[in-house]
A and B are shown apart, each in its own frame.
Chain A
Amino acid sequence: MASNGTGERLSPGKHELIDREVVVDFEFEGKLITAHQGDTVGSALTAVGIDLLSRSFKYHRRRGLLCVAGNCPNCLMTVDGVPNVRTCTMPVTGGMTVRRQNAWPSVDHDFGSILDRMDRLLPVGFYYKVFHKPKILWGIMRPIIRRIAGLGRVDTSSDGGPAYTHRNVHTDVGVVGGGPAGMMAALEAAATGLDVTLIDDQPLLGGQLLLDATRHTDPAIDDMQDGTGQEIAEVLRQRVAQQPGITVLNGATAFGFYQDNLVSIHHGNEAIEVRAGRVVIATGAIEIPMQFENNDRPGVMLASGALRLANLYGVTPGKRAVVITADDSGYSTALALLDTGITVAAVIDMRPEPGTSELAESVRSRGVEVLVGHRVVSASGTKRVSGVRVIGPDSSERNIRCDLVCMAGVWNPSTGLLLQQSDTAVEYDEQLRESVPVELPEGVYVAGAITGIHDLKITLAQGKAAGRQAAGFDYEDASLLRAGERDYRARMRAPGSSSGSQTVLSNPVKTAKKEFICFCEDVSSKDVEVAVSEGFGDIQTLKRYTTATMGPCQGKMCHSSFIESAALQTGKTIAAIGRTTARPPAQGVPLGALAGPGHMPRKRTALDDVHRRLGAEMVEVGPWLRAHNYGSPQDEVVTVRNRVGIIDVSTLGKLDVRGPDAGALLDKVYTHRFSNLREGRIRYGLLVGENGSIMDDGTVTRLADDHYFVTTTTGNIDAIEDWFNWWLAGTGMEVFVTNVSSAFAAINVAGPRARETLVKLTDVDLSTDALGYMRSTRGMVAGVPCIFLRIGFVGETGWELHFPTEYAEHMWNALMEVGAEFGIAPFGLEAQRVLRLEKGHIIVSQDTDAASDPLDAGMRWAVRFDKPDFIGRGGLVANRSRPSEEKLVGFVMHDRFVPEDGQPIVKNGVPIGRVTSSRLSPTLDKGFGLAWVPEKLAREGAEIFIRSGKTDSPAIVTLKPVYDPDGLKLRE
């Protein structure tokens, strides 16, 4: 195991997050690592001297801690089987197992690192230029490339870790970011009496102040005279805790900011959807790497990362540091490092002259060399940084020995979340030299370092202003704030006070293959240069070709360096080069968190238990579970044909349609006419889309003058309910459409002995004279109020009984009991399919599809063209005037062979039609079914051929039902 020998614990600090009294052990690649409560995996490993945390994506270069904030890809490891975990922010827990990834045989000795020396063979986009000639080469190379690519490995036998829950929060004001600006905004908004949710991704509120040991005078917080940043954070934290109305979410990452102020958050093992009236985005800015060769060596860190390690976790990031800075913050970093006992070899100030000379002086006074106007051209060292090469304003070069490089003062405003909103714009600000928000949507406010201003007083004032505005008030000191911002900009313009960004590319002309812009994808300044020279001159195609900004850091670490590099290479200004699109999530979020607890609802009828007790095989039909059969579908068919069967048809869609215009609505949406249907009568209902294609079918029963009872197919009820309401909307018709599907259970009692069975349970006169075919009545059955529908889907005398769902089991049992003497038995879906197929009844979406109209499906009788209008009439009138191409017909095989549903009908080896339903007919003892065939074959006795496998089987077309073609049985 590699060890830099420098990782060890510092003496306890005032602001550290670890509890040195509590020890936590975890397993790292087979070894036991001892950490403290509050440690992250990254801090704990560094504390025991492990600084090689990962291998990079393309070149398999050694990578160590960089940001210590969960932003960069350098610390991705597999934790408890979950790959690509950001270990620098992952808290240690007892017994967790951690291993590094993307290396073979090990991260310490990785064969893949040979790629680092083959960089000449691997220019940007190399894979587009090789391996495709001859064609077979790609077949060989692709599996190899796939094996080398990728980062972590998933354990496909695992269940993927913990389940997540979902939670919804509604709040008046949502504040994202718990630094000084966010805390101030939350305090101000809550002070007006509003409900505020403060969302922060760190374990402790404070943001950058947690690392800020410099003294600030008159921070404008009540009675506070002065204090260090850390002290100010403490005061603000206490005030937030005491302020009623603020809910703080610590360790909560806001990853999405969707329409209507929906902020989505990943918080431990839950995902929270926060709907906020108004939102303050105070996500701050993150420090980003500088450009020099080998800027990715372990030991080269962001200054904030090094300080986080030292201040929050008490771990020494190195022993001898060089601080490179682009603003004053490098001096503060140097002082903070010195305070923890780390040697600072030099501060390299990239500006032509130091900004605040007192700061530089206080660093000098502690024996640290300050090199102004210098820059770093490269880092040396193989396993870890061992020195930097520095070039002075007079082009003199020298080496400085060190084992830690801190890159300070180049900031990238965290606009990733904000930019997910529409009507938002971020532009490069020439004065601030950062890309800052210039256009905000209604009800969204920004404050703090996201505005490109790094000044505590202004930040606090911006926070106040944003909080006031988000609460719906004006900010009284707005003019003062604007003056402060103007003053800050003026200071930025002054010589020697350049903030970082423009100096990131310290040597714009010279690029280097190992000067990394994008750490996730190993994209260097050289790669950008080459890609631009190849014609990828706009930021969007340049991004896609180089893949810069497309890795796990979501562009956080590289986006601004990337656009600067692109600007330099294309000769455009940074403002002109533009930006790539910010897309959710702003921070990687686990699939499990998005998915939530995971459930797939299934609907069960009130008779579900009954079916299971009877040993039914259940099958999924749309959202429902239905009984497919009770052992033998063939026997069930015989029962219905010869005796009496019952089937649970509760899954039918049922609509109660009432009102003076109920008939008019039904006339409009159905092809048939219903306004003239007499009370107590039933008519088949066929529903078509605007182009005339079949959407649904069912029955329509007139229960009273202004009251209809409509059934739809099982799967379509929700769509049909919507369809009714859609066509009702805005018409002024007086109709109420109520979905009563769940309120009513339904059982179909059918067969030659159905009447004998039913009369034992009811006083209703079921004789054909009293209640003929397609008639309806209401009455009691087994003491339960029922709607009787005398219809005959299965082709036998039968009644569909609709009654309140709660009596379903009682009704079923009563029927079974009285029917026992007639040989009653339940039948399932499969038997019903055979029975209806023998009658030639279609099943919508099985026998019809999106292009089937009633004319071709042989149901012209159900279409009333004499109605002045109905939905789909135009389409059907047009179709009627054109020759039909295909018709739905019945067919019968010559033997018991049953083709499979869906098999093609062929002629000369070409598909000319298809079988939609096919079964063995108990009546004919032959295979039979329904099929779409060319119009000229749609005649009685025509011969068709059905392709199954490699053979074509002949069948004869029939236009009549194979069972009881004249429908005498069901009228008995």
Chain B
Amino acid sequence: MQLFTHNTMWRRYPLKDRYDVVIIGAGVHGLSTAYYLAKQGVTNVAVIDKGYVGGGASGRNTAIIRANYLTREGVPFFRESLKLYEDLSKELDFNLLFDQSGRLDLGHTDSAVFGLRMRTGVNRLLGVDSQMIGPTEIKKLVPAIDLRRGKNLPVMAALYQSSAGVVRHDAVVWGYGRGADRLGVEIHPFTEVTGIVREGGRVTGVDIGDQRIRADTVMSATAGWSSNIARMVNLTLPLVTHPLQAFVTEPLKPFINRSVSSANLHVYVYQTDRGEVVVGGGVDPYSSYSQRSTLHTLEELAANTLELFPFLRGVNVLRQWAGLCDMSPDYAPIMGEVDGQPGFLLSCGWGTWGFKAGPIGGYTMAELIATGKTPDLIKPFNLRRFAEGKLVNERAAAPAAAVH
């Protein structure tokens, strides 16, 4: 059947000595940048990763796609990403299992509801379909939820973004990888960049052990490991890497069709198409590069899940894991050129919001590389904002941003 021809996802090549663009990191940002670059005709591109394709945060995040952020800079950026996601399965000819079943951010206290209302107001003005809904509507959308009437932290209201959804994260990575490969991009997994070459005041390539590879542009899309790559050009980034933990349960018949998040309870919950319940929370309170999970966090996530869905008490946890989040001080990404480092580009500071921005992050970075001009959408996210004191203030939605 034509439907199921076994096309190779991406081919293997020997590393060349020279590329126009080298992208470090074969996650969603690296691969989507490569894909959109190739679409613009820049095909002499290598995406290099020390591990397997999609093995970092792209393979570990919980794949909730939403745009209900807080700031004038953040909301349009994530809104455009969501728009790209809407047509991405078709674009990549790969079913990414993306659905827009909606997302609820619950508020259990006055101050939480205040924060949600702030976001709703900004969202609606900037073209994101957020609305505040009350307990009755919440129950209609998520009949299985315990509204906690008469208990501590009753559900008072929710921010509902109906266009938000969930995607199969691995499929997005593979889809971009396959798309980029078909347009001529080389993908080199299990290949570790050990140094960045600087000559004549600009970045001119990377070292892979003994092998030197020249490139006009080197872009780092290494999320949790960005600080280490930046150190190769003597750059200190205002990033702190924190682990974030999540778990899934054994598969169940569907009982919830939307993703539900509670900043007050530090938990978010949704059910995959396979029936597994995915649960995550905020980042761990300490910084670490460890991707090993802890019992304490698992217990907390489990307890908090049961506050909203008590009937899950007998359901088994199947798997627990941790990923790394490169948290920026203002909870906004760091993208674009780096002053004093021509030839070197950053796409980092992806914290807990990176996967949502995968398509637009790649799209805008590709435009920057191809045209040499920074798109308006990402101008506010340049690294120099920290020197200029022009922080993006997405952190004002902090408890919510820390919860997917």
Do chains A and B interact in one complex?
Answer: yes
Q: Which residues of A contact B (CB under 8 A)?
A: 57, 81-85, 102, 120-121, 123, 126-133, 135, 138-139, 142, 145-147, 149-163, 256, 258-259, 262, 264, 273, 420, 422, 530, 533-536, 538, 540-541, 544-545, 550-552, 554, 583-585, 588-592, 594-596, 598, 600, 602, 619-621, 691, 845-846, 849-851, 878-879, 882, 885, 900-904, 906, 909-911, 914, 947
B235 within 8 A of A: no
- Min Cβ gap B150→A in Å is 12
A534-B395 CB under 8 A given contacts A129-B94, A161-B313: no
Contact: A146 with B254, CB < 8 Å? yes
A911-B3 CB under 8 A given contacts A149-B251, A552-B316, A590-B316: no
**Whole-angstrom CA separation of A57 from B314 in the bound complex:** 20
- Min Cβ gap A905→B in Å is 9
B375 within 8 A of A: no
Interface residues of B in 67-119 (CB under 8 A from A): 72, 87, 89-90, 93-99, 108-111, 114-118
Binds A, one of B213-221, B299-307, B365-373: B299-307
B315 within 8 A of A: yes
Q: Which residues of B contact A851 (CB under 8 A)?
A: 330, 391, 393, 395-396
Q: Dominant SS at the A interface?
A: loop
Binds A, one of B15-23, B35-43, B224-232, B287-295: B287-295
Which residue of chain B has the shortest Cβ distance to A591 in the bound complex?
Answer: B302
Which one, A153, A589, A902, contacts B252 given CB within 8 A? A153
Q: Which residues of B contact A147 (CB under 8 A)?
A: 253-254
Q: Provide 17 A-B residue pairs closer than 8 Å at the C-beta atoms, listed in order of the A residue.
A: A123-B4, A126-B4, A128-B94, A128-B97, A128-B168, A138-B97, A149-B274, A151-B253, A152-B250, A152-B253, A160-B310, A162-B313, A552-B250, A598-B303, A621-B109, A691-B329, A851-B396
- Min Cβ gap B361→A in Å is 22
B192 within 8 A of A: no
Interface residues of B in 274-331 (CB under 8 A from A): 274-275, 290, 292-295, 298-299, 302-303, 305-307, 309-321, 329-330
Contact: A146 with B273, CB < 8 Å? yes
**Whole-angstrom CA separation of A554 from B320 in the bound complex:** 11
Q: Which residues of A contact B114 (CB under 8 A)?
A: 846, 901-902
B6 within 8 A of A: yes
Contact: B317 with A589, CB < 8 Å? yes
- Min Cβ gap A589→B in Å is 5
Q: Given contacts A154-B311, A911-B122, list 12 more A-B pairs with CB under 8 A.
A: A83-B250, A128-B95, A133-B89, A135-B87, A138-B97, A145-B273, A154-B253, A259-B292, A540-B51, A590-B316, A592-B314, A914-B122
Contact: B273 with A149, CB < 8 Å? yes
Which one, A154, A273, A533, contacts B6 given CB within 8 A? A533
- Min Cβ gap B388→A in Å is 7
Q: Which residues of A contact B189 (CB under 8 A)?
A: 538
**Whole-angstrom CA separation of A158 from B316 in the bound complex:** 16
- Min Cβ gap B99→A in Å is 6
- Min Cβ gap B378→A in Å is 19
- Min Cβ gap B157→A in Å is 11
Contact: A545 with B170, CB < 8 Å? yes
Contact: B251 with A588, CB < 8 Å? no
Contact: B316 with A588, CB < 8 Å? yes
Which one, B51, B53, B293, B389, contacts A583 given CB within 8 A? B293
Which one, A258, A846, A910, contacts B295 given CB within 8 A? A258
Contact: B313 with A159, CB < 8 Å? yes
Interface residues of B in 195-254 (CB under 8 A from A): 249-254
Q: Which residues of B contact A544 (CB under 8 A)?
A: 54, 59, 170
Contact: A154 with B95, CB < 8 Å? no
Q: Which of A57, A82, A150, A585 has the most chain B CB atoms inside 10 A of its CB?
A: A150
Contact: B293 with A130, CB < 8 Å? no
Contact: B293 with A584, CB < 8 Å? yes
Contact: A882 with B388, CB < 8 Å? yes
* 0/1 interface trace, chain B 374-395, chain A, CB 8 Å (1 if under): 0000000000000011110101
- Min Cβ gap B61→A in Å is 13
Which one, B144, B290, B317, contacts A594 given CB within 8 A? B317
Contact: B94 with A591, CB < 8 Å? no
Contact: B311 with A156, CB < 8 Å? yes
Q: Which residues of B contact A131 (CB under 8 A)?
A: 95
Which one, A550, A591, A904, contacts B313 given CB within 8 A? A591
